[in-house]
Structure 1
Amino acid sequence: MTREQERARARRRHDKVQAAQRRRAEQRARTRRLVAVVATVAIVLATVVGVALAMRPRGDSAAAPSGAASPTGTAGPSGRCTTPPALQSKPKQFGEVPDKATAEGATWVATLRTTCGPVTIELDGKAAPQTVASFLHLAREGYWAPSPCHRLTTGSLSVLQCGDPTGTGASSPGYGFGIENAPADGAYPRGVVAMARTQDPNSNGGQFFVVHQASRLPTDGGGYSIFGKVTGGMDIVDQIAAAGSDDSNGRGDGRPKTPISILEVSVTKKKA
């Protein structure tokens, strides 16, 4: 074999080695690209699933079937109501009207823990200082623990009335006070909270009502004191109203068919 033939043979061996190395390099590059694509797809899928889970409606528990009874056997809004406790036979009595200075000029937040869930009310101590002072006093003294919402009306007057521990609509905390912040036109918007009273304008005490549909009340005698508005739990009031009353007088006025009672009332001063 000549020297020229040996050199040609060596070049061929070199070219084969180089070609094999290029093939292996290309294979490694294809493998890296495939791994990168798979990793990218996995990241995208994880992101999509995470977003879907984050946007899912949340709840503390599974929704109860429509019309289901609560664990204690009382049907209520979405099955959430529990059986109200027994009525108070001898509610606490107080000899003097609370000092309005305790509430004057401030806004307060009251949370009513009820057998159907919490209802939050913002109390206006600027517009109705005497009424709010009385509410704060009765809440702190546990006057309404417990007490039922004993009256539901529908129609031109649409209110849920609460605050009488005996459930008769006839009791008081042992004192009375006058009207304040009553609308001159007798218009009571949905969600406002006002005092219930007799024909005596100084008979405001412990009973109050939540307006579940805009209503117009008589202005004779001075009207009814607005002292707050519902800021949370209006859906509970709505569902109690939707269930209707026993209509004891034939005028859409009676005890709620779905019983609801106040178990506890807590109050805090709203931060400026």
Structure 2
Amino acid sequence: MPSNEQRREAAKRKLERQLENRAQRARKRKQLAIAGSVVGVVVVVAIGAIAFTVTRGDDADPATTAAPEAGVMPAGRSEPLPDKVSCTYPPAQTPAAKEVDPPRTEDIDTNVENVSVSMETTQGNVGLTLDNAQSPCTVNSFLSLAGQGYFDNTPCHRLVTEGLKLLQCGDPSGSGTGGPGYGFDNEFPTDQYDPSDPAGQQPVTYPRGTIAMANSGQPGSNGSQFFLVYGDSQLPPQYTSFGTIDETGLETLEKVAAGGDDGSIQAGGGKPNLPIDITSVRMD
């Protein structure tokens, strides 16, 4: 019978093969699109875009009330990322809530724009589309954890229904302080703001259907906890947005939200009165 380590290695190899196959198909499509633009007549139209706390751990409290007005989250990156990027996942100060290997760090392919994932829960399915082109290091970590079964049979420990509208998951301990034993930096939309730009600390709307990372408010404090936004929520753009939730998933979240929370978290929200556990997270 294979050991847990052998199963994790097999899952990682399978995940890497799937991503590489998708990357090869994406590169071919990109090459064909470039070739078509060279032989055709290209008309360029300039379109102007107007660009105007959820936390984890013990280090900071989350925002729990909406600001009077919020700006608009950037529609996308001002410049696309290179075809391949490197990511860093340094060890965290606290041990992993569930033993896993850290993600790979080199040659993370951004040509795969989207990755479809099915998150099965005890309250229904939540379909996710992960935005690899916007936040590749975050997606790389999420898929690595999913492939190793990190999220399997773990509770969504926090529901917020006032000010913010979100469900927070990804901590196997269910305490809100657990992580994978490593951290990493924010990506989109945080990296679209200069660190000295005050706009980076002003609220923007995280739209209904967003999946984003929770953090402690400190650099490099992303880990495994994420939040699912079931209603427009205003937050500073300091939480990495890395995908969207399908309508079936939003119906599941709204069912849980309708049950309310127990108010047990001082910073806002609490455990859902209608418990919801993740049973599995798998690539489609």
TM-score (norm 1): 0.61
Alignment of 1:181-220 (within 5 A): 181-182=188-189, 185-219=203-237
Partners of 2:97 and 2:178 within 8 A in 1: no
**CA drift at 1:156:** 1.8
Change in CA separation of 1:143 and 1:249 when aligned onto 2, cut-off 3 Å:
closer
Alignment of 1:166-245 (within 5 A): 166-182=173-189, 185-219=203-237, 223-231=238-246, 232-245=248-261
Query: 1:160 matched to which residue of 2?
Result: 167
Q: Is 1:105 aligned with 2:120?
A: no
**CA drift at 1:200:** 1.1
Q: What letter is aligned with 2:179? A: S
Alignment of 1:19-34 (within 5 A): none
**CA drift at 1:204:** 0.7
SS at the partner of 1:233?
helix
SS at the partner of 1:122?
strand
SS at the partner of 1:93?
coil
Query: 2:264 matched to which residue of 1?
Result: 248
Q: Deviations over 1:75-125 (max 9, x none)?
A: xxxxxxxxxxxxxx951233x443364452311011001111111000010
Partners of 1:97 and 1:134 within 8 A in 2: yes
Partners of 1:103 and 1:133 within 8 A in 2: no
The answer for unaligned runs of 5 or more in structure 1 is 1-88
Q: Deviations over 1:146-201 (max 9, x none)?
A: 11100001222111000101101111111110001126553200010000010212
The number of residue pairs the alignment matches comes to 176
Tell me the distance in 1 between the aligned counterparts of 2:228 and 2:271: 14
Compare CA radii of gyration and give the structure with the larger one: 1
Tell me the distance in 2 between the aligned counterparts of 1:100 and 1:111: 26
Partners of 1:101 and 1:133 within 8 A in 2: no
Runs of 4+ in 1 over 6 A off after TM superposition: none
Q: What letter is aligned with 1:187? A: T
Tell me the distance in 1 between the aligned counterparts of 2:249 and 2:97: 29
Partners of 1:190 and 1:212 within 8 A in 2: yes
The counterpart of 2:280, out of the listed 232, 253, 264, is 264
Tell me the distance in 2 between the aligned counterparts of 1:168 and 1:187: 27
SS at the partner of 2:130?
strand
TM-score (norm 2): 0.58
